[in-house]
């Protein structure tokens, strides 16, 4: 191969994935790379966006394909992750710890969930009957509890799970964007 020849699209994907895995460097976004037969297939949904894990075991890979090594395995169904990039049928996701990797699209769900204060607050977080700091407390949740996000409005989200249902301040929940409205 002549030295002045540009690498193939596949070679660029491999290079970007390796650089990302080794040093956290993203030379160019993978979805923008040319693919044989036209543009990459993507969902057409907004990026970034929050989704949740659909399966009990989800392999998180170094790159967008089964030929790439597994970085780690999620083992918690319903855990929220943020889709930050798409390539064909693969989604690059970030979890509440900031870890990033590639997941096959069918292992993700559009169901909205949230993690209560994953940054490790010491005190339990109050869940209230109404979206108001003066409303009665219906439960206290520990940091790391995962709940279903039912709705979010004006800095409050209604979440529920086994044994609780109520409103939490939006800034105490990872899995929704600040001031995001969820219906």
**43 is written with which tokens?**
């969902």
| 54/67 Cα distance (integer angstroms) | 22
**21 is written with which tokens?**
């895995």
The torsion angles phi and psi of 55, rounded to 5 degrees, stand at -115, 160
pTM for this prediction: 0.77
The answer to whether 102 touches 68, Cβ cutoff 8 Å, is yes
Residue 92 predicted with pLDDT over 70: yes
| 119/116 Cα distance (integer angstroms) | 9
Query: Residue 163: which pLDDT band, with cuts at 50, 70 and 90?
Result: very high
| 38/118 Cα distance (integer angstroms) | 40
Residue carrying the six token digits 């967008």: 64
Angle (CA) 151 157 158, round 5°: 65
Counting residues of the chain whose pLDDT is more than 70, the rounded percentage is 78
Query: Residue 3: which pLDDT band, with cuts at 50, 70 and 90?
Result: very low
Q: Residues 37-52: pLDDT tens digits?
A: 334 457 899 999 999 9
Q: Across all residues in the chain, what is the average pLDDT?
A: 83
Query: Which H or E element spans position 22?
Result: helix 9-23
Region of poorest pLDDT, from 25-29, 90-94, 161-165:
25-29
Q: What is the DSSP string of 110-124?
A: S--EEEE-TTT-SSP
Q: What single-letter DSSP state applies at residue 74?
A: E
| 15/19 Cα distance (integer angstroms) | 6
pLDDT: is 38 or 82 the higher one?
82
State the pLDDT at residue 10.
Answer: 41
Query: Residue 34: which pLDDT band, with cuts at 50, 70 and 90?
Result: very low
State the pLDDT at residue 120.
Answer: 85
State the pLDDT at residue 121.
Answer: 80
Residue carrying the six token digits 């990459």: 40
Domains detected in the chain: 46-111 (2.30.30.40), 114-174 (2.30.30.40)
Q: Residues 48-77: pLDDT tens digits?
A: 999 999 999 999 999 999 999 999 999 999
């Amino acid at each position: 191969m002549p030295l002045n020849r540009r690498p193939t699209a596949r070679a660029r994907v491999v290079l970007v994935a390796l650089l990302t895995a080794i040093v956290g460097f993203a030379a160019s976004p993978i979805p923008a790379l040319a693919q044989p037969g036209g543009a990459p297939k993507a969902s057409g949904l907004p990026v970034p966006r929050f989704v949740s894990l659909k399966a009990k075991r989800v392999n998180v890979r170094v790159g967008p394909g089964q030929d790439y090594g597994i970085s780690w395995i999620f083992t918690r169904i319903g855990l929220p992750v943020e889709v930050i990039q798409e390539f064909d049928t693969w989604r690059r996701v970030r979890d509440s710890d900031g870890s990033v990797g590639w997941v096959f699209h069918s292992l993700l769900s559009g169901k909205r969930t949230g993690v209560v204060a994953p940054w490790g607050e010491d005190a339990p977080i109050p869940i209230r009957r109404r979206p108001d700091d003066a409303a009665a407390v219906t439960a206290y949740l520990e940091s790391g509890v995962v709940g279903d996000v039912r709705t979010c409005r004006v800095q409050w989200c209604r979440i529920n799970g086994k044994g609780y249902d109520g409103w939490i301040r939006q800034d105490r929940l990872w899995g929704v964007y600040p001031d995001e409205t969820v219906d």
